[in-house]
Amino acid sequence: MASVIVGGLHKAQEAVRQATSKEKKVVDLERDTANIHIKQPLTTDHGVRVENTDQWLRVVDDQHTGPSLLEDQIAREKITRFDHERIPERVVHARGTGAFGNFKLTQSIEDLTYANVLTDTSRNTPMFVRFSTVQGSRGSADTVRDVRGFATKFYTDEGIWDLVGNNIPVFFIQDAIKFPDFVHAVKPEPHNEVPQAQTAHNNFWDFVYMHPEATHMFMWAMSDRAIPRSFRMMQGFGVNTFILVNKAGKRHLVKFHWIPHLGVHSLVWDEALKLGGQDPDFHRKDLMEAISNKMYPTWDFAIQVIPEEKQDEFEFDPLDATKVWPEDIIPLRVIGEMELNRNVDEFFPQTEQVAFCTSHIVPGIDFSDDPLLQGRNFSYFDTQISRLGVNWEELPINRPVCPVLNHNRDGQMRHRITQGTVNYWPNRFDAAPPAAGPNVSQREGGGGFHTAPARVAGPKRRAVSAKFGEHLNQAQLFYNSLSEHEKLHVRKALGFELDHCDDPTVYERIAGHRLAEIDLALAQAVAEIVGATVPDRAVRANPGRRAPHLSQTEFMPPKPTIASRHIAILIGDGFDPVSLNGMRAAIKASGALPVIIGTKRSRICAEGESPSPSAVRAGVSPDHQLDGVRSTLFDATFIPGGSHIKSLSQNGQVKHWIAETFGHLKALGATAEAVNLVKESLGAVSGLKVGSAEQPVEWYGIVTAGGPQKPESFKETVNIVRGAKD
């Protein structure tokens, strides 16, 4: 039966079916893709060639321009199409960016599931991933303090699997019915639509105080996790608990994780704030550039598993999305790898129209009773109808790479044409019959989604189980597990946020009470900063329990790397070309990107170089000039020696660049004369250790708990700095 379907109704799908598993989505999208860079003449949407697209048809002579004519169907089409270009932005996660990739399973988990995407290690499943911020609108900045969406779409041979996660493993609320209240409170306030893309306002902090269940999550949101350096350097978490079902029908609770091979890294807050204005597209450009430079970001895919019969054995309820499953109790099992390797061709039809749906699962995976997930399963399909219309799953980016056939029909913007005389089941032709279950292969007409029997009983009530009532243990566990500099950042973030709340009820309650339930020292420090009453005793004890892998400092790559980092090289006329070329080559050899910043973008002469056109030329044409970029855009800065230092040391912008780089805890390198420029610019910074004179390159900006240190190498410099943002 299945072969009839493929050979009959879905001819276009045949090419997709023939493609290698890795290429399936590429081949699928090709049939809807055209290239504008061809000399084919312009046409209207109905295909008629257009002779003039610049002047509206009007009554006109050489002296008088008369009225424009409504009759001009070409002008009307152009304007009307433009008027309707916008669709509603996502109600949350409006700002985002996406890329294509592939998922390779490295270890079959046949013991847990019969989902082929998780058992067949020969497959290379195509994916689309969209990263996003939550609060801000579509045009807001990338580097704001916020949770990041980490939505993944697997185009499997058995249909679409959407794992719609975040970069933080828990959530603000436990029950989906609270989501509208939560989103209203976090979004700009209703009377003035302020603030944009941040939680630093009365309503958000009022809401989280009124909901103690939000405490754990707001502690994560105040940590460095909420200001990632790059989408490529974030963990992803499925957050909700799903079910894996194996061939014997046994069910396991599962949580899904993505772990970046580049490690988890963050900006410092001052950097994030400045980048919001200096380059609002910082994260989306970072991802696109890495992919176009073939520095493909990769993540491990891992699971945590609890056998269903053991789900009551924990102090928390494993169905509660405000709790992590501590990894010392429930270890991670790495089973696969994702690589992002292709940028989108066009933003709107791909990144904007991509639509995720938590209820999109494939046979072998099922939903748990997680009350947040159950509500999400309703919400996502519904929201796509308002954004894209009922036929949203037919859009090229959303359609599966396997055949689709059913009796769903009509609705706005229906594309698919289904031949035949029936549109219902059962029918006299046995057309489009239900598939057999998982024990029959797909080829033989099986592979139908089967819900493994599970017992459900109990009184109907608006409630959750008793363990959902404990809200603070894991907020404490998280805070205790952070390193000292991460704790400092949490304190400062809370100080910033509450400083933006002008209602004393709000900041008094958070600083004086809620924080004192987590850690007295934290509450006291924050209360003092924000002008709240300083609590003199803890509201509850902090037994100091910690858990592994809650601090992001534990997610460093096994081998330190500066691969894909942007390293600025500052020069003016008279730089030392040997030093510049040597460092540029070393940076490239390490897989990083050297970016030359000149005092101007016109050619810059090397030391001793004659401006005469016939002379041997050692100068360079910089990528940018000092006014066009800022130190915040780079991971480190290098300044070669040479006579250019004379003018650079007179340049306030250069000195500010150096001081700012140091202030943001980034590596600073200098040779020869440039060493003094760096020393001079950092003169005000106390405790700075200056390297010994015999070292050819001096590095600064290494700050550890014990004081400044000298790194062994440039690579180590960048990694230490990234790891020890203090």
Closest approach, Cβ 369 to ligand HDE, in A, equals 14
Q: What is the 3-state secondary structure (H, E, C) of 396-418?
A: CCCCCCCCCCCCCCCCCCCCCCC
**Does residue 187 belong to the site contacting ligand HDE (CB under 6 A)?**
no
Closest approach, Cβ 324 to ligand HDE, in A, equals 13
Quick one: which segment of 159-167, 290-298, 656-664, 698-706 binds ligand HDE (CB under 6 A)? 159-167
Closest approach, Cβ 90 to ligand HDE, in A, equals 4
Comparing CB distances to ligand HDE, the nearer of 361 and 570 is: 361
Closest approach, Cβ 162 to ligand HDE, in A, equals 9
Comparing CB distances to ligand HDE, the nearer of 110 and 175 is: 175
**Does residue 220 belong to the site contacting ligand HDE (CB under 6 A)?**
no
**Does residue 179 belong to the site contacting ligand HDE (CB under 6 A)?**
yes
| Whether 166 is catalytic | yes
Supply the Cα-derived Rg of the chain in whole angstroms. Answer: 29
C-alpha separations of 240 from 17, 301, 319, 363, 371 in Å: 32, 16, 7, 18, 9
Closest approach, Cβ 165 to ligand HDE, in A, equals 5
The answer to whether residues 711 and 666 touch, using CB atoms and an 8 Å cutoff, is: no
**Does residue 239 belong to the site contacting ligand HDE (CB under 6 A)?**
yes
C-alpha separations of 373 from 29, 254, 370, 470 in Å: 31, 13, 5, 19
- For ligand HDE, the binding residue among 380, 478, 479, 700 (CB under 6 A) is 380
Q: Please report, as a single letter, which amino acid is at residue 719.
A: N
**Does residue 169 belong to the site contacting ligand HDE (CB under 6 A)?**
no
The residue written with tokens 């500066």 in the block is 562
Quick one: which segment of 158-166, 304-312, 324-332, 524-532 binds ligand HDE (CB under 6 A)? 158-166
Closest approach, Cβ 170 to ligand HDE, in A, equals 9
> Cα 721 to chain center, whole Å?
22
The answer to whether residues 367 and 162 touch, using CB atoms and an 8 Å cutoff, is: no
**Does residue 259 belong to the site contacting ligand HDE (CB under 6 A)?**
no
Count the Cβ atoms, other than its own, within 10 Å of residue 76. Answer: 14
Query: Could you tell me which residues come within 8 angstroms of residue 571 by beta carbon, excluding any fewer than 6 positions away?
Result: 580, 596, 597, 598, 599, 604, 620, 622, 639, 640, 642, 644
Beta strand 593-598 with 624-625 is parallel
**Does residue 311 belong to the site contacting ligand HDE (CB under 6 A)?**
no
Q: State how far the Cα of 227 lies from the Cα of 566, in Å rounded to an integer.
A: 18
**Sign of the CA dihedral running 132, 137, 139, 141:** negative
**Does residue 447 belong to the site contacting ligand HDE (CB under 6 A)?**
no
**Does residue 174 belong to the site contacting ligand HDE (CB under 6 A)?**
no
**Does residue 464 belong to the site contacting ligand HDE (CB under 6 A)?**
no
Phi–psi pair at 670, nearest 5 degrees: -150, 150
Q: State how far the Cα of 208 lies from the Cα of 419, in Å rounded to an integer.
A: 54
Comparing CB distances to ligand HDE, the nearer of 321 and 674 is: 321
Kindly name the residue from 10, 37, 84, 93 that is annotated as catalytic. Answer: 93
- For ligand HDE, the binding residue among 9, 16, 75, 92 (CB under 6 A) is 92
**Does residue 255 belong to the site contacting ligand HDE (CB under 6 A)?**
no
Beta strand 333-343 with 298-307 is antiparallel
Q: Which residues pair with 700 in a beta bridge?
A: 668
Cα-based torsion angle of the residue sequence 523, 524, 527, 532 in order, rounded to the nearest 10 degrees:
110
| 89, two tokens | 């932005």
**Does residue 392 belong to the site contacting ligand HDE (CB under 6 A)?**
no
Quick one: which segment of 227-235, 251-259, 376-384, 412-420 binds ligand HDE (CB under 6 A)? 376-384
At residue 306, the 3 state secondary structure works out as: strand
**Does residue 395 belong to the site contacting ligand HDE (CB under 6 A)?**
no
**Does residue 236 belong to the site contacting ligand HDE (CB under 6 A)?**
no
Comparing CB distances to ligand HDE, the nearer of 255 and 666 is: 255
Kindly name the residue from 116, 166, 203, 343 that is annotated as catalytic. Answer: 166
- For ligand HDE, the binding residue among 119, 152, 166, 661 (CB under 6 A) is 166
**Does residue 164 belong to the site contacting ligand HDE (CB under 6 A)?**
yes
Burial class (CB in 10 A: 0-12, 13-18, 19+), 22: middle
**Does residue 151 belong to the site contacting ligand HDE (CB under 6 A)?**
yes
Residues 333-372 that bind ligand HDE (CB under 6 A): 355-356, 372
**Does residue 569 belong to the site contacting ligand HDE (CB under 6 A)?**
no
- For ligand HDE, the binding residue among 9, 127, 144, 176 (CB under 6 A) is 176
Query: Could you tell me which residues come within 8 angstroms of residue 265 by beta carbon, excluding any fewer than 6 positions away?
Result: 228, 229, 230, 233, 552, 722
Comparing CB distances to ligand HDE, the nearer of 175 and 716 is: 175
Q: Where are the beta strands (DSSP E) in 560-652?
A: 566-571, 593-598, 624-625, 636-639
How far apart, in Å, do the first and last CA atoms of the chain sit? Answer: 64
- For ligand HDE, the binding residue among 376, 489, 491, 666 (CB under 6 A) is 376
> Residues in contact with ligand HDE, total (CB under 6 A)?
26
The answer to whether residues 134 and 149 touch, using CB atoms and an 8 Å cutoff, is: yes
Shortest-Cβ-distance residue relative to ligand HDE: 149
Comparing CB distances to ligand HDE, the nearer of 91 and 405 is: 91
**Does residue 171 belong to the site contacting ligand HDE (CB under 6 A)?**
yes
Interacting residue ranges for ligand HDE, rule: CB under 6 A: 90-93, 96, 130, 132, 149, 151, 164-166, 171, 176, 179, 239-240, 321, 355-356, 372, 375-376, 379-380, 383
Catalytic positions:
93, 166
